[in-house]
């Protein structure tokens, strides 16, 4: 019996993944001044035993003002770096899973409460901070407007991404994903709904692409050439007059020509006025369209929950890999169960080998 396509190897640049299941970045809102805590040790530790091909750490702020919430993970200081090093050292001791990191800046969605605290903006007098964005346009009607970034501040943000990328390299992280989706800063530059600048960074599509491409090029130059750098992008704002698939294709081709290692296709998040057509595979058409237009590998997301569903996405060529987030939180052994169902094998720690069901004798590869 042939190996299911979902469980065949995949190369992202020079990094070879054992299979095509990616654990997507998932914000935990559990850091302290940007520093990883014991929560991250537990959270990442058990996901590292999942059998997935790649684990990407949550959106990690490149500066304090770039945090979504006061409890966001960060990588702007020596303290942040050392705290994350402790976590990664423990994870690597027991798991061979490749580890990447998503670097981001929240832009106008910064200074927000954790979801279980309501998610609204934190007032300045309660420890919040002034958000920065391409233009002084608030995300929600009740939000205070962000400050429009000056040319000097743009340079600083780019340099913050570069500094975080260098810290990621010192930590031995094997991949960087830049967060250009979900309404955060790089996405805000792309969308005409949030970018109404009148300088070389606003207006035309070419101008709106300029800053995200500058950040990508700077990070690509700062991170080792043999390690992949990719981007998560939104295929659509799902709002009238916003970012759409045609513009996404232009961005994808520009990134492809600059040596981007992969794209992770998502959607929405820029405006509360969005109308998202939720349903299984609802974002896979973005991946399919972009994959047809570029040479680099494409990762698909969008209510992918079942093994046969994931296998069909890869097997039909709609994408090169699938990424799971909430489904992985609900079932941290999803790749084990998918491998058992589809007739494949996954890595499992020696301590867990005895858990292999008798009917799936070839399920586990020992470490």
For residue 23, give every residue at least 6 positions away whose Cβ sits within 8 Å of its Cβ, in sequence order, or none: 47, 50, 52, 54, 55, 56, 323, 324, 325, 328
- Of 269, 130, 264, nearest to 191 (Cα)? 269
Give bridge partners of residue 322 from the DSSP assignment.
21, 300
Rounded Cα–Cα distance for residues 187 and 181 (Å) = 5
Of 29, 94, 184, 352, the active-site residue reads: 184
Q: Is 184 a catalytic residue?
A: yes
Look at the alpha carbons of 186, 191, 197, 198 in this order and tell me if their dihedral is positive or negative: positive
Cα 185 to Cα 202: distance, rounded to the nearest angstrom: 14
Query: What separation in angstroms does the CA of 330 have from each of 53, 91, 254, 327?
Result: 18, 20, 36, 5
- Asked if 58 and 25 touch (Cβ cutoff 8 Å), the reply is yes
- Residue 273: name the closest of 234, 239, 236 by CA: 239
Whole-number Å distance between alpha carbons of 326 and 338: 16
Q: Rounded to 5 degrees, what angle do the CA atoms 168, 104, 189 make?
A: 140
User: Which residues are known catalytic residues?
Assistant: 184
């Amino acid at each position: 019996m042939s190996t299911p396509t979902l469980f065949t190897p995949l190369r992202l640049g020079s990094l070879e993944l054992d299979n095509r299941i990616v654990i997507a970045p998932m914000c935990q809102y559990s850091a302290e001044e940007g520093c990883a805590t014991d929560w991250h040790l537990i959270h990442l530790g058990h996901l590292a035993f999942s059998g997935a091909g790649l684990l990407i750490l949550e959106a990690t702020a490149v500066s304090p003002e770039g945090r979504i919430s006061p409890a966001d993970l960060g990588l702007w200081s020596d303290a942040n770096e050392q705290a994350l090093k402790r976590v990664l050292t423990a994870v690597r001791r027991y798991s061979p899973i490749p580890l990447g990191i998503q670097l981001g800046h929240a832009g106008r969605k910064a200074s927000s409460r954790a979801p279980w605290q309501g998610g609204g903006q934190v007032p300045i007098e309660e420890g919040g901070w002034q958000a920065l964005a391409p233009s002084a346009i608030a995300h929600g009607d009740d939000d205070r407007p962000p400050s429009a970034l000056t040319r000097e501040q743009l340079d600083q943000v780019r340099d913050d991404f570069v500094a975080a990328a260098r810290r990621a390299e010192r930590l031995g992280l094997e991949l960087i994903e830049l967060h250009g989706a979900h309404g955060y800063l790089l996405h805000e530059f792309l969308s005409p709904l949030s970018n109404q600048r009148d300088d070389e960074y606003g207006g035309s599509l070419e101008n709106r692409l300029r800053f995200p491409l500058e950040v990508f090029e700077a990070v690509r130059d700062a991170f080792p050439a043999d390690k992949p750098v990719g981007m998560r992008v939104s295929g659509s704002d799902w709002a009238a007059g916003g970012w759409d698939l045609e513009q996404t294709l232009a961005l994808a081709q520009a990134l492809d020509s600059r040596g981007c290692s992969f794209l992770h296709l998502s959607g929405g998040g820029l405006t509360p006025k969005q109308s998202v057509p939720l349903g299984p595979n609802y974002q896979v058409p973005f991946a399919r369209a972009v994959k047809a237009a570029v040479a680099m590998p494409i990762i698909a997301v969008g209510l992918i929950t079942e093994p046969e569903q994931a296998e069909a996405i890869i097997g039909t060529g709609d994408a090169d890999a699938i990424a799971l987030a909430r489904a992985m939180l609900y079932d941290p052994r999803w790749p084990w169960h998918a491998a058992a169902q589809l007739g494949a094998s996954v890595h499992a720690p020696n301590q867990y080998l005895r858990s292999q069901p008798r009917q799936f004798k070839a399920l586990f590869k020992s470490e």
